[in-house]
Amino acid sequence: MARVYLENVTKKFGNVVAVKDATLEIEDKEFLILVGPSGCGKSTTLRMVAGLEEITEGDIYIGDTLVNDIPPKDRDIAMVFQNYALYPHMDVYNNMAFGLKLRKFPKPEIDRRVHEAARILGIESLLKRKPKELSGGQRQRVALGRAIVREPKVFLMDEPLSNLDAKLRVQMRAELAKLHDRLQTTIIYVTHDQTEAMTMGDRIVVMKDGLIQQVGAPMEIYDHPDNAFVAGFIGSPAMNFMDAVLRLEGDELWVQADGFKVRLPRTRFERAEEYIDKEVIFGIRPEDILDLDFTPDADPDLIVTANVDVTEPMGAEVYVYLSAGKESYIARVDAHTLARPGTTHKVVFNTQKAHLFCKETEISIR
């Protein structure tokens, strides 16, 4: 168990900067998620913590030890790889016991740990099988087991669920969360799947182009994204973005886009005055666009009439693809909505939960 601290860490591959000046503190026993699109530097960051990539600049501490020059084997970490990386010539038992054997653990202790981990993961009956005789899910469990038996200070997981099918992924997601509760170990988990990020982690680190965009608890990031990238990346369906202009009419703050004009709560956007009569990006999540039929006492200043282009029934809810003027957006409304493609429909923009971003910097205006 240990905290991990990255201080101004930079990684360059030739002239390409993969990670730039990353500073990050991961608390002891924390489940931290590194999330971002492909090439954002999240895996490189993880690999630097593992010692599989050298650091170009900066320092990494595991516990109180500076590990910049310490080889992976002496960092007391365990890693689960995206493609499992099981040793094909060893059976499941030996795959799991390999690390312990190298560390010269006594045989009874190895046996106890391997069986204990196998029991937790439900793979006791597979111990004599070779990896090629296992299914994807079973291989994934073995890879996890190999990490668990080591009882390391820090678990590093590099997209461990991305090769599983959707159903298994959901199941393993819950199991990993349970495992973290049980093991009480620091976990750094890399994923490009924002659902995994939202559901599993204590905190999320959103990365883009080698830069840390925002660090925070999942709901904090969801509700208060620092910039348009974070706002768009976290959440499914993604946040709607519309080009708009801020207006001040009397004492009221309004946002005007092509096709609609709605009033904004001034208290929520204190810095908005700097942007009056300027172009901004207006962001609103699909669930914050409400169906007027189900919001009878809606403020008339928040009602927008839009054309219904497509509806996607999801069972419990319907995604309604709307357009008004140049702008199109998605609303996530009640399954019983009367919105039908080819008709117009009235929706309510819940501007209490809307977001504004600077057009140039894409930084959040609050």
Q: Say how many residues make up the chain.
A: 366
- Shortest separation between residue 224's beta carbon and other proteins, angstroms: 36
Q: Point out which span in 37-45, 61-69, 78-86, 269-277 binds other proteins (CB under 8 A).
A: 78-86
User: Residue 17 in 3-state DSSP?
Assistant: strand
- Shortest separation between residue 84's beta carbon and other proteins, angstroms: 6
139 binds other proteins (CB under 8 A): yes
Binding letters toward other proteins, positions 37-76, x by CB under 8 A: -------------xxx------------------xxx---
Binding letters toward other proteins, positions 148-167, x by CB under 8 A: --x-----x------x----
Footprint of other proteins on 103-132 (CB under 8 A): 103, 130-132
86 binds other proteins (CB under 8 A): yes
87 binds other proteins (CB under 8 A): yes
- Shortest separation between residue 236's beta carbon and other proteins, angstroms: 24
Q: What are phi and psi of 64, to 5 degrees?
A: -105, 10
- Shortest separation between residue 342's beta carbon and other proteins, angstroms: 45
Using omega within 30 degrees of 0 as the cis cutoff, is the peptide bond preceding 225 cis?
A: no
Q: Which of 348, 242, 335 is nearest to 291 (CA)?
A: 348
Distance from C-alpha of 299 to C-alpha of 349, rounded to nearest angstrom: 9
Q: What are phi and psi of 24, to 5 degrees?
A: -155, 135
Measured from the CB atom, is 140 or 364 closer to other proteins? 140
Distance from C-alpha of 19 to C-alpha of 16, rounded to nearest angstrom: 9
DSSP string covering 121-177? HT-GGGTTS-GGGS-HHHHHHHHHHHHHTT--SEEEEESTTTTS-HHHHHHHHHHHH
Q: What residues make contact with other proteins under the rule CB under 8 A?
A: 50-52, 71-73, 77-79, 81-89, 98-99, 102-103, 130-134, 136, 139, 146, 150, 156, 163
